[in-house]
Amino acid sequence: MTDTPDTCTPLPGSWQRAARGAGLFGPAGEVHPTIFAEMTSLAVRTGAINLGQGFPDEDGPTELLEAARAAIANGHNQYPPGRGTPDLREAIAEHQERFYGIHLNPSDEVLVTTGATEALAATLLALSEPGDEIVTLEPYYDAYGALIRLAGAQPRTVPLPHPSYLPSREQLTAAITDRTRIILLNTPHNPCGVLLPRSTLEHIVALARQHNAWIVTDEVYEHLTFGVQHLPIASLPGAAERTVTISSGGKTFNTTGWKVGWLTASAEAVTAIQSVKQFLTYASGAPFQPAIATGLRLPDEYFSQIATGLQAKRDLLSEGLSAAGFEVSVPSGGYFVIADAHSVGYEDAVTLCRELPERAGVVGVPVTAFCSPEHSPAYASLVRFAYCKRTEVLREAADRLSRLRAR
């Protein structure tokens, strides 16, 4: 995973390597080392500030932490129901209604999962057959490449061109064909920070209907948007019956370690996906499920405040990077900002990332870690930095980055 230190997905070039058998192991059966692991150990060795990893360094709301403690004390410590506790499924349905006007039946159109990651895995395994094509946007969250291969499917990507990161209509039309079984979206997008606009989403729905494809959408950053509203594709006409919407409590409530995620879809799709999910984890997180239900029912102010707070952090880091000489693409949502190392004299972001801890005491990751080898050259000079960190940490990072200029 991108965001855990002992990472084990094969990157960069995950798809090539994944093509070797299941592809997740090297020739000697070792877990592939990744750029994330390399950068984390570099951060530890040099004492650099690690902005390579996308997890918050602060706890979420007290109400949630208290609710989890209470649940443990009150005996919620055995397997929860396979679909998730009825109360959490209701809270998820209420949340979709409150924020997006999407009406769901919590008894059969909602499935609680072990993070968004398990939701993605179970969905791709359930809805695709070996040989089917799965179309996704590139750069892509690192799990996508590995999961598509684990499902035996063929990845096909539509590039998000720097610096707009908006997919072109023509390229979407060309990539989505009768061979496409699933269109896998991520909005707001990691690592590009873009929100897919309504016109793009409408075009994707039309193509999915024309070619009878599923839409699977990863919306874990749904509440972390800056001055723009997240638009779930499932809320568009003609989309709901063919869309699986995936989200998670991790990013919204600063509880990435709890791994409570969910998906919403038609009853038929939920049943198919649960038939896979039951043999992955069956169920998980008994005391965390009531706590996440508490979170989903927090007042609107909570959700607007987390976005405003994160926007200030985005600005702090973006300004620091600009002052250090980087060209910055300011994101509309999510945890990450992309900076171009070209403007500070590096054509290869991997080289910059290896030198940055020594030169400036900060760690980032090259965007090519989120690309197939084929498309990497277009992103070669780009670096991803996380701003989901405490303000004083970001201030210190900005201060250290200014050393780059000083030389």
Ligand X SMILES: *Cc1c(COP(=O)(O)O)cnc(C)c1O
Write out the residues near ligand X by the rule CB under 6 A.
Answer: 3, 115-117, 141, 186, 190, 218, 220, 248, 250, 256, 259, 261
CB of residue 184 vs ligand X: minimum separation in angstroms?
11
Amino acid, single-letter form, for residue 310: L
Determine the angle formed by the axes of helices 349-360 and 35-46, rounding to 10 degrees.
Answer: 10
By the 8 A CB rule, do 286 and 79 touch?
Answer: yes
CB of residue 146 vs ligand X: minimum separation in angstroms?
12
CB of residue 132 vs ligand X: minimum separation in angstroms?
21
CB of residue 107 vs ligand X: minimum separation in angstroms?
23
CA 338 to chain centroid, in Å, comes to 15
Q: Which of 76/384 has CB closer to ligand X?
A: 384
Q: Which residue is nearest to ligand X (CB)?
A: 115
By the 8 A CB rule, do 124 and 151 touch?
Answer: yes
CB of residue 141 vs ligand X: minimum separation in angstroms?
4
What gap in Å lies between CA 151 and CA 124, rounded to an integer?
A: 6
By the 8 A CB rule, do 210 and 235 touch?
Answer: no
What gap in Å lies between CA 91 and CA 183, rounded to an integer?
A: 27
Work out whether strand 243-248 and strand 110-114 pair parallel, antiparallel, or are unpaired.
unpaired
CB of residue 87 vs ligand X: minimum separation in angstroms?
19
Q: Which of 85/186 has CB closer to ligand X?
A: 186
CB of residue 250 vs ligand X: minimum separation in angstroms?
4
What tokens appear for 309 in the block? 């707070």
Q: Which of 2/398 has CB closer to ligand X?
A: 2
Q: Which of 317/344 has CB closer to ligand X?
A: 317
CB of residue 123 vs ligand X: minimum separation in angstroms?
12
Dihedrals φ, ψ of 260, to 5°? -105, 115
Q: Which of 346/385 has CB closer to ligand X?
A: 385
Q: Which of 36/141 has CB closer to ligand X?
A: 141
Q: Which of 284/376 has CB closer to ligand X?
A: 284
Q: Which of 220/239 has CB closer to ligand X?
A: 220
Q: Is the peptide bond prior to 12 cis by the omega test (within 30 degrees of 0)? A: yes
What gap in Å lies between CA 89 and CA 20, rounded to an integer?
A: 39
CB of residue 147 vs ligand X: minimum separation in angstroms?
11
Q: Which of 95/400 has CB closer to ligand X?
A: 95
